[in-house]
Amino acid sequence: MKNYLIPRLMRGSVAALLLCAMPAFAKTLTVGFAQTGAESAWRTANTDSMKSEAEKRGITLKFSDGQGKQENQIRAVRSFITQGVDAIVIAPIVETGWEPVLKEAKRARIPVIVTDRTVQVSDESLYVCFIGSDFYSEGKMAADWLAKAVKGTGNIVELQGTPGSAPANERRKAFADGLAAHPGLKIIDSQSGDFRRSGGKEVMEALLKKHGKAINIVYAHNDDMALGAIQAIEEAGLKPGQDILLVSIDAIKEAVAAVAEGKLACTVECNPLFGPKVYDTIAKILAGQSVPKKDFNKDELFDATNAAKALPSRQY
């Protein structure tokens, strides 16, 4: 692996830095973080983890909210490069379109860590590593749980995440692959709610008008859309969890509570608390140590058997 430490930190005594303990060394860091936006409770928890951990370690964090637009993120990354930050963290809104700005970061010898969502590039050396969750595994867990719970029969409407994003792509594919062995489970409609609670509510309202009682099951790519769908179902005079079964992904505290209440059937965890792992990884990279190219968080599933017990200890 390329040693980023010496080229990036010529400002002081390199020998002294190399002798420092990791916590002390971390205090010298300036990190740029290009976030997707604030579209969900999961995203808010993700941002809070990055900010609070940076403050705890004495790291200067230059934060940019992409507001759901990739061009804003690319502009932020170029600004980080100009400012000469020690490392850049990107939570990419979509998978494609990153190659030019990543090449700029590489020329500047600034290591890039991709978090949460993956990128598609022709040269994977343009970023050092990916830290996040296995979106395909999450979608497959949801499909397998559902097939068993409903004994392989039902009409499903799917609330997709942001089109072109890694979680939407992978969670959709995995769920479809999981249903392939269960011909009695059919997706009768699929629309994007853009990972937003308001989007989930609006899409669910439209789907209920279109399909009515033909809908037995909702599969949402994230909890916020599922919680929005619950609102739409209740406003339509139906009972979530009884008239319509809902399955989701993220396991934010509000969704786990909805599972405990019986309104949401299950939610698959997608841990947003990346801060400690991201900054540990950056410290290793700048010290010239090897890190895994992909580092997945461990996720679990919450349903009626464990949701109530898990609630008191949920951090997000």
pLDDT of residue 24 exceeding 90: no
For β-strands 217-220 and 154-160, DSSP reports them as parallel
pLDDT of residue 25: 44
User: Given a cut of 70, is residue 13 above it in pLDDT?
Assistant: no
> Is pTM, for the whole model, over 0.85?
no
Query: Looking at residue 315, what is its pLDDT?
Result: 84
Name the average pLDDT for the chain: 92
- At residue 40 the predicted structure's pLDDT band, cuts being 50, 70 and 90, is confident
- The CATH class for the domain spanning 5-132+273-297 reads alpha beta
**Residue/partner pairs of 50-57 with CB below 8 Å, 24 or more apart:** 50/89, 50/274, 50/275, 50/278, 51/275, 52/275, 53/275, 53/276, 53/278, 53/279, 54/275, 54/279, 57/23, 57/26, 57/27, 57/29, 57/279
- Region 8-25: mean pLDDT is 39
Distance linking the first and last C-alpha atoms of the chain: 35
User: pLDDT-based confidence at 2, cuts 50/70/90?
Assistant: low
- SS3 (DSSP) at 60: strand
pLDDT of amino acid 118? 92
Q: Residue 14: pLDDT above 70?
A: no
Which two three-digit tokens encode residue 37? 């936006």
Task: Dump pLDDT digits (tens) for 212-265.
Answer: 999 999 999 999 999 999 999 999 999 999 999 999 999 999 999 999 999 999
Q: Given this model, what pLDDT does residue 41 score? A: 86
Neighbour tally for 84: CB within 10 Å: 12
| Band of pLDDT at residue 26, cut at 50, 70 and 90 | very low
Amino acid at 206: A
CA distance 61 to 120: 26
Q: What is the C-alpha to C-alpha distance for residues 273 and 249, in angstroms, rounded to an integer?
A: 15
The pair of three-digit structure tokens given for residue 238, joined into one six-digit string: 């139906």
CA distance 38 to 172: 22
Strand 301-302 and strand 266-269: the pairing is antiparallel
User: Does residue 151 register a pLDDT over 50?
Assistant: yes
pLDDT(197) > 80:
yes
Encode pLDDT of 120-138 as tens digits: 999 999 999 999 999 999 9
Fold held by 135-270: Rossmann fold (3.40.50)
Q: Write the DSSP string, 84-151.
A: T-SEEEE--SSSSS-HHHHHHHHHTT--EEEEES----S-GGGSSEEEE--HHHHHHHHHHHHHHHTT
Is the separation of the CB atoms in 151 and 186 below 8 Å? no
Which burial class, exposed, middle or buried, applies to 269 when counting CB atoms under 10 A from its CB (0-12, 13-18, 19+)? Answer: buried
CATH 3.40.50.2300 range(s) for the chain read 5-132+273-297, 135-270
SS3 160: strand
pLDDT of residue 3: 57
From residue 77, alpha-carbon distances to 34, 72, 206 in Å are: 7, 9, 38
Q: Model confidence over 44-81: pLDDT tens digits?
A: 999 999 999 999 999 999 999 999 999 999 999 999 99
